[in-house]
Amino acid sequence: MWRYTAKRLIQGVITVWFIATATFAAMHMVPGDPLASEKAVSAEIRANLEAKYGLDKPVFQQYLIYLGNLARGDFGISFTQKNREVNDIIREHFPVSATLGLLAVTFAGLGGVLWGALTALYRNRLPDIIIMFLVILGISVPSFVVAAISQLGLVNLNNLLGFNVLPVGGWGTVSHMIVPALVLGLSTMAYLTRLMRSSMLEIINSDFVRTAKAKGLPPTRIFTKHQLRNAVLPVITVLGPAIAAITTGGFVVELVFAIPGLGRYFVEAVQQLDYTVIMGTTVFYGAFLVFMVIAVDVVYGLIDPRVRLD
């Protein structure tokens, strides 16, 4: 167990190093000069920046300086915003994205398991048909369209009732989070529903469920103890990639609902070619995702004793 975790963590660190290198390489191939912007920086600032990032040195030395800074957790200072460290930007905006993402993953996970189990129990009957139709819809409609339509619906609902049931955009209270998180989690929820359904169908026909029925256990107990617990395992395996998909998918939802998250900030930084912010955010996101996937794998090993971690 500990050996497995340690091994995965070391692999994770190497992966993050690869991500950092790829980011560095990509940013060095971007045409133009980070200091050549419309607002000419003064000679002193220029000298300071060159000294800090070794911009007058060969590329390999710049790379070493960059890695050294990263290892110390220093992502640098924003090029376009005065006196703003990338660390501050991440500290300020990442919790927003993380909260939204976490809520979305919770929605997607709970919803997926619930709907999937329901469709399997009502196989080929009306609830199954209705839910599977909605699932296909959820997979096929792009998230920005869902976001726009739900916003439109909210506006009309608020107008109709004459007071704000839920706010249409912005961030701050729990009521701001509900609709964006639902929209963000929707496609993952649809995907998980499908997965849960097929896994549940397999379990329903398995020997141990038949045994449980034969010895006269009540159906609710069979459902919770035997079916649900076993069927939910494949869903947990894909939660790692699902978290990755949801956190990056947050871009659009943050844009449409005017949420001050890191994704929106990244898009703005790209538009302004803010080198340090782009590099810092990419590496940070990459590292976050890598370690989330590791965490899910380790937790999976704890939940399912059949999985040997070594």
Residues that bind another protein (CB under 8 A): 15, 18-19, 22-23, 26-27, 29-31, 136-137, 139-145, 148, 151-152, 155, 198, 201-202, 244, 248-249, 251-252, 255-256, 266-267, 270-271, 273, 278, 281-282, 285-286, 289-290
Q: How far is the CB of 47 from another protein (least distance, A)?
A: 27
CA 211 to CA 208: how far, in whole Å? Answer: 5
How far is it, in rounded angstroms, from Cα 242 to Cα 173? 25
Q: Which amino acid is at 16?
A: V
Q: CA 308, CA 73: separation in Å to the nearest integer?
A: 34
Least CB distance from residue 140 to another protein, whole Å? Answer: 4
Q: How far is the CB of 32 from another protein (least distance, A)?
A: 8
Within 10 angstroms of residue 18's Cβ, the number of other Cβ atoms is: 12
What the block records as the tokens of 148 is 């726009």
């943050």: which residue's tokens? 254
Minimum distance, C-beta of residue 281 to another protein, in the bound complex (Å)? 7
Between 31 and 305, name the residue whose CB sits nearer to another protein: 31
Comparing CB distances to another protein, the nearer of 143 and 182 is 143
Question: Measured from the CB atom, is 177 or 204 closer to another protein?
Answer: 204
| Nearest CB to another protein, comparing residues 14 and 303 | 14
Contacts with 8 (C-beta within 8 Å, 6 or more apart), sequence order: 294, 297, 298
Residue type at 150?
Answer: S
Nearest to 57 by CA among 72, 68, 70: 68
Rounded distance, CA 180 to CA 186, Å? 10
Q: If we measure between CA atoms, which residue out of 233, 264, 250 comes closest to residue 188? A: 250
Put residue 40 in one of left, alpha, beta given phi > 0 → left and psi -120 to 50 → alpha: beta
Nearer to another protein, 18 or 51 (CB): 18
Query: Given the complex with another protein, which of 118 and 217 has the nearer CB atom?
Result: 118
Quote the least distance from Cβ 249 to another protein, whole Å: 8
Shortest Cβ 167–another protein spacing (Å): 16
CB of 40 to another protein, least distance (A): 22
- Distance, CA of 278 to CA of 32 (rounded, Å): 15
Q: Residue 186 or residue 256: which is nearer to another protein going by CB?
A: 256
